[in-house]
Structure 1
Amino acid sequence: MEPREDDTVSDESLMADAAAGDRKAFGTLTRRHMRRSLALAQRVVGNASDAEEIVQDAFLQIWANADRWRGDGTRFTTWLYRIVVNRSIDYRRRRSFAPLDAAEEIVDPAWSAETLIDGRRIGAEVDAAIAALPERQRAALSLCYHEEMTCAEASEVLQVSVSAMESLLVRARRVVRARLQPLIRQKDGVRP
């Protein structure tokens, strides 16, 4: 078979070829979706090196089970993201992680120290609010906001109804907003 690097070839077509044993088609799928899969896994587990391990495991699982690909109207990315999210949640449950704020950031000389400190503090508060969410709510936020999936697409990934997905998002936003209210009031100059 000839390599199919053409971006016009659909993921589903490539997956069908991979299911028939075409390693090059699977390589194309992997290259296409590696970056976004890594970003999704990192947002769920909060650690880049763990995300790499999760995504590598997810793609190995997909290759090993390629013959199970249905191709019955389900998008490949829905199947892929479902595997990545499930692996991430399982991985996070098995391990404890060091806080992300332990990592050093590169300082941009164009920003003032005060702006950097404010940005870090706000970023840490937002990260903490999201990290405190239950895993499914965190995954729902990540799929809909970072991966820009519709509620229907995200509901397929998490294997819940659309109304359940909407409920996960509403609860997640409500909890994050409530946790950030003191910070918002302080930023607006209102004392708590």
Structure 2
Amino acid sequence: MDDRDRRHEADLLAAAGRGDARAAAALLDRLGPRLMAFALRMTGGHRPLAEDVVQEAFLRLWRRADDWDADGPANIGTWLGRVAANLAVDAHRRDARLTPLPEGVEFADDAPSALAGLIQAERLSALDAALLRMPARQRQAVVLRHVEGYSNPDIAAMLECGVEAVESLTARGKRRLAELLDEGGENE
């Protein structure tokens, strides 16, 4: 993210803090979809919980609107990601009964056949189930890096650790995810 984008988001946040509904909507439109996708992955596809995580993250951001430091160490998207990650982990700890996506959930799929859609849905369901079985920090690092596409420095800011720790978490997480996905394939 360049400085102009960062400044623009900070300006939108400041305007939203002053009650500008258009600025708040613009910031939600800009950051909300990616944050929702991340929250869905962190909650194993549990949409109501992911929506709660995103809503709470934005509420916390609105509370900070007046004192947001646009030149601070984190950009708004990174800060929201860190807050959402913590909220998702806390929610998962409170409700260890989270289950993978239920059968029949529809996924956006550009594939030409219904069979391809079913295969894709099954793969995503297996991925979500495997992600939920991973340690929380590894799951966060893998989802942020390989699903959401954040850079290692941004992930380090979100997880409040060093870049080397992110690299280690991501590598261990990818290995663990591969093991879990292989286990799932053997059981079928």
CA RMSD of aligned residues (A): 2.9
Matched, 1:143 2:140: no
From the CA coordinates, give the structure whose radius of gyration is larger: 1
Q: For 2:185 and 2:103, locate their aligned partners in 1 and report how far apart those are by CA, in whole Å.
A: 25
State the match for 2:11 in structure 1.
13
1:15 shift after superposition: 2.1
Secondary structure of 1:88's aligned partner: helix
Provide TM-score, normalisation by structure 2: 0.79
1:88 shift after superposition: 1.2
Show structure 2 runs of 5+ residues with no match. Answer: none
Q: How does 1:45-64 map to 2 (within 5 A)?
A: 45-46=43-44, 47-64=46-63
Secondary structure of 1:26's aligned partner: helix
State the match for 1:32 in structure 2.
30
1:185 shift after superposition: 8.4
Matched, 1:131 2:132: yes
Provide TM-score, normalisation by structure 1: 0.77
State the match for 1:23 in structure 2.
20
Whichever residue aligns with residue 135 of structure 2, its letter is P
Q: 1:44 to 1:23 in 2, by over 3 A?
A: same
Higher mean C-alpha deviation, range 22-31 or range 167-176: 22-31
Show structure 1 runs of 5+ residues with no match. Answer: 1-6, 187-192
> Which structure has the higher relative contact order (CA within 8 Å, separation 6+)?
2
Q: For 2:24 and 2:120, locate their aligned partners in 1 and report how far apart those are by CA, in whole Å.
A: 41
State the match for 2:161 in structure 1.
160
Number of aligned residue pairs: 177
**Percentage of identical aligned residues:** 30
Asked if 1 retains the 8 angstrom alpha-carbon contact of 2:35 and 2:54, the reply is: yes
Q: For 1:16 and 1:184, locate their aligned partners in 2 and report how far apart those are by CA, in whole Å.
A: 50
State the match for 1:96 in structure 2.
96
Q: 1:54 to 1:121 in 2, by over 3 A?
A: closer
1:55 shift after superposition: 0.9
State the match for 1:178 in structure 2.
179
